[in-house]
Amino acid sequence: MTELELLVDFHKDHYRQGPGSDDITKTIFKIIPDLNKRNFNVADIGCGTGAQTLCLSECTKGQIHAVDFSTQFLETLDTRAGKVGAANQIKTIEASMDDLPFEKNQFDLIWSEGAIYNMGFEKGLQYWKQFLKPNGYIAVSEISWITKDRPTEIDDFWKSNYPEIGTVSEKIAVIEKSGYSSIAHYVLPPDSWLKNYYSKIESSFDSFLQKHSNSESAQTLVSMEKEQISLYKKYKEFYSYGFYLIKKTA
């Protein structure tokens, strides 16, 4: 198995693949202005196994295009959508987020939770803009500093793992520079990390290691996850996912 296949295998049976919350997804959807449009057309980019896709399908009758590059995640989402009677509403699409098979001005809303970092926040916002209708919205979560200063250990960790990390106001500056206005932002609380995500993956470490006969690469993956969890527990007042609701202006 390649590193990526192993990562997908680790995450594929989980409800979500990153910090988040069904309630927060629905709350953010509800504050989008002008929601009662007909034929509301949504893209959910980096959808994983579809935690937020299924929430969105409860919020709108519109068509949802759920994009991921992992076939296995999309198969799980198809199964889950079938179980809740949303198979016609949710169309899964295997594609890379930086090479999307969409038309220009196709969407009223682009949703993306815990995924844009894979291509970079600024690059993602600039590239995805063409697929939005004029005045369309993006709701996107992105790792953000929530204080002005922070201890060196956590600063070094994130700067070497994701140099594009920035404060909420730096993220808003990128949003404005990229041709959007900021409608609202919200910082994910610790429950979205600890209760909804980390506690679930922690409980699967042993079975995952057993399944892979304690292979070196499985052990490396688990110890990296453990390191991230312990850093989060230690430094959670300094960073989180910022959830940004933004509107295309240019």
What is the rounded distance in angstroms from the CA atom of residue 82 to the CA atom of residue 66? 14
CA distance 225 to 19: 13
Q: Structure tokens of 200?
A: 């679930």
Give the type of residue at 57: S
Q: How far is the CB of 92 from ligand SAH (least distance, A)?
A: 12
**51: contact with ligand SAH by CB under 6 A:** yes
Shortest distance (Å) from residue 166 CB to ligand SAH: 19
Cβ proximity to ligand SAH: between 60 and 112 the closer is 112
Binder among 12, 22, 63, 69 for ligand SAH (CB under 6 A) = 69
Q: Residue 119: which residues within 8 A CB-CB, separation 6 or more?
A: 97, 98, 127
> Is-contact 42 110, C-beta < 8 A?
yes
Residue 135 has a CB neighbour count (10 Å cut-off) of: 11
> With respect to ligand SAH, which residue has the nearer C-beta, 108 or 113?
113
Candidates 29, 73, 128, 244; binder of ligand SAH (CB under 6 A) is: 73
70 is a site residue for ligand SAH (CB under 6 A): yes
Phi, psi angle pair for 213, to nearest 5°: 50, 40
C-beta closer to ligand SAH: residue 127 or 157: 127
Q: Is position 48 an interface residue for ligand SAH (rule: CB under 6 A)?
A: yes
End-to-end CA distance of the chain: 44
**H or E element at residue 138:** strand 132-145
Residue type, 123: K
Nearer to ligand SAH, 18 or 136 (CB): 18
Burial class (CB in 10 A: 0-12, 13-18, 19+), 19: buried
Chosen residue from 21, 28, 43, 46 binding ligand SAH by CB under 6 A: 46
Longest CA–CA span in the chain (Å) reads 53
Say if CB 180 and CB 129 are below 8 A apart.
yes
Burial of 200 per CB tally in 10 Å (0-12, 13-18, 19+): middle
Q: How far is the CB of 96 from ligand SAH (least distance, A)?
A: 4
Which C-beta is closer to ligand SAH: that of 79 or that of 169?
A: 79
Candidate residues 68, 108, 142, 225; the one interacting with ligand SAH per rule CB under 6 A: 68
Q: Does 47 bind ligand SAH (CB under 6 A)?
A: yes
Q: Is 18 in the site for ligand SAH (CB under 6 A)?
A: yes
- Under the binding rule (CB under 6 A), the answer on residue 166 touching ligand SAH is no
85-124 residues in contact with ligand SAH (CB under 6 A) are: 96-98, 113-115, 118
CB of 39 to ligand SAH, least distance (A): 24
Would you tell me which residues interact with ligand SAH (CB under 6 A)? 16-18, 20, 46-48, 51-52, 68-70, 73, 96-98, 113-115, 118
